[in-house]
Structure 1
């Protein structure tokens, strides 16, 4: 189940909502059996081998078959999620390299919902009952954390997330059932910065110290008709390593993958790419013609399918 981007519920409706902190990581389901966890990204990709430090599961889950929902995060030195640290882990599958990275930048699995217990589906239970069941499971320990949640008090939770350098909050109606794969208004994500998943459809050559490689990206989102439309030109936020990786992953194509127009000054020296990479950008606002203002690259998102990429904030 996915949240829509939006605002905090009005004060008069606040008591009907629960609130959680928004974590800057990648969504993952975990199925625990016999003390071992199998993890899947939102796209359905198995990711257990990428994060060996998440096994075995906490002692509280031994002897209980459960499926839980949560977020894989990498924490910085002061305990805040750092997406840059996590990105170094997301695309690695080699055993020796994964082991080295797990020691250098271990991840934590933050659990915030439970879907089944001992074969019993909890999907139709209201959110507050599922959270109470989760709190009693003991999904805590090693590199697993059951996250806090709050009944009402959305403005205070939102302020606390900002004061602690977190991404924002997720508001969830206390009576909401869990609807797998559905982006539903019963869950709202309220971020301090605007974020948008994007499909990479092209790139422009670098200049100066970036000469000879990728200098910037042309990105798009799907419109209401399912067409990939141009949404902006991203030229900041890259590390040298990220640009090198993008150069290795981009696949050339002879013509634009975007429906509709791309600005001439951007398209003039563009190199088109197969639209099979998904990334995330932070940006200031949407323009009237559906372009992002001041987008900055945050990283690739291999936990998302290309078809998942739609506008998260209305222009």
Structure 2
């Protein structure tokens, strides 16, 4: 009779893999009641579903994991039997070896077998990680492959009538080692914050993924004094679109600072969930694009992506000018809020997730060394740096002095309140935009900008301003006569950004140049940068 593990051994060598490779011989006897689900980050992410049966782990690969909806079946690819010792395996399979990548225990426990034939396997799972895998599942053979289906199930079915609830059987195998350290505990909870991929975290008492967490904002300022340098972490200031990513374990949703859903605008970021596996998380970061010639981050390159909604055009631009999501904070992880942790603790958790992929990355930060990083940012033609106090908590939606943005050149967000017609080659279109910043008495006029536009920008602005025309000025107070002459007024809805030299004594922008619209900002978000 052939050895059930022959196929397994033929694909592995004990001296090249960390996986258990038992010698030939009699198979061990067990209780035929152990199951394990392993999250496998190989060439393609999948979940390995294994059931103890007759001395081996009968195995299927689930590309989409366990189904959570009885109306949706998932593909299950039958693979070779594995040794019983594999139920405890978690670690790295060397690159180049069969199944090379990271294996983590997603859940494990015991199961009850209700039916087992060559074409159908029906089991009830009792996992150790809350309700992560609790339920009745049936595997059905459909030709060469199988399907896995979640059936209706109530835990009360197995309850002891003399007790309120009968405890599930406990696995005879040892559980996965917890990776979260005590130092990563939330001050508001005694539950340890999960470590990398949080595969061993207990999901009981878990919080649902938040629908909305507004990003914390930085104040404009200077580098902290040398005596305080070591109290801050420093990050590069990225010139892009601030976005919060909500990964629910199956898909990613992207929202801007003013709550716009831009998931469909940047389809290349959808695969970020694969880096997280089935782990739910909320991330904070910046969407950036790169100049095709210089390879440097370019806000102008991002502009052509920011306003597009047409699906065909989105696909074309995705190929022509792909974006990257630069992740710098972690707000929620595996059913636990992390906003109450310090910046240093959140960064440690974030970096343990190792989120790096074709269109996303987790750039490092430095503890101290602000002046050195500022010089490096200038060398790379970046905007500057953001200094974040290491002990600071995340304050959703607030502009905090614990975060300080330090820039090489001055920029200002502005609200468009009108425009003046152009002359010469600009005849028939916009000559300059009339700009304002919200103040205590309304929209305060801060000057006009007539440079920095491309022909495409002017055409887009002409179309947008045409749709929000109005008869009266939206600005508070009296404007200079030369600026209001021949002006066309608009409802102050459009937010843009200018680069400028300095503020004049009467509160005007000196030598402003247009950088582009900011659809991620609302007029109420705009403040005068000192």
Tell me which interval the TM-score lies in, with the shorter structure as reference length: over 0.9
What does 1:24-63 align with in structure 2 at a 5 Å threshold?
24-57=239-272, 59-63=274-278
Could you say which residue in structure 2 is the equivalent of 1:121?
Answer: 337
Asked whether the 8 Å contact 1:58–1:138 carries over to 2, the reply is no
Give a deviation string over 1:60-87, Cα, whole Å, max 9, x none. 3011100000000001244321011101
Could you say which residue in structure 2 is the equivalent of 1:308?
Answer: 525
Comparing 303-312 and 75-84, the one that deviates more: 75-84
Could you say which residue in structure 2 is the equivalent of 1:276?
Answer: 493
277, 281, 299: which one aligns with 1:66: 281
Give a deviation string over 1:229-261, Cα, whole Å, max 9, x none. 001110100001101100000121111100012
Give a deviation string over 1:112-144, Cα, whole Å, max 9, x none. 000000120000111011001000012211201
Could you say which residue in structure 2 is the equivalent of 1:172?
Answer: 388
Q: Shift in Å at residue 262 of structure 1?
A: 1.3
The alignment partner of 1:247 has SS state of: helix
Q: Shift in Å at residue 226 of structure 1?
A: 5.6
What does 1:1-315 align with in structure 2 at a 5 Å threshold?
1-57=216-272, 59-77=274-292, 78-223=294-439, 225=440, 227-250=442-465, 251-312=468-529, 314=530
The alignment partner of 2:347 has SS state of: helix
Give a deviation string over 1:84-128, Cα, whole Å, max 9, x none. 110101010110010011111000000000000012000011101
Paired residue total: 312
Q: Shift in Å at residue 270 of structure 1?
A: 1.0
Distance 2:509 2:365 in 1: 32
Distance 1:238 1:105 in 2: 20
Unaligned runs of 5+ in 1: none
Could you say which residue in structure 1 is the equivalent of 2:196?
Answer: none
Q: Shift in Å at residue 279 of structure 1?
A: 0.3
Aligned CA distance change for structure 1 residues 159 and 35 (closer, same or farther; 3 Å):
farther
Aligned CA-pair RMSD: 1.0
TM-score by length of 1: 0.97
Structure with the largest fraction of helix: 1
The alignment partner of 2:470 has SS state of: coil
TM-score by length of 2: 0.58
Asked whether the 8 Å contact 2:495–2:522 carries over to 1, the reply is yes
Aligned CA distance change for structure 1 residues 34 and 226 (closer, same or farther; 3 Å):
farther
Distance 1:142 1:32 in 2: 17
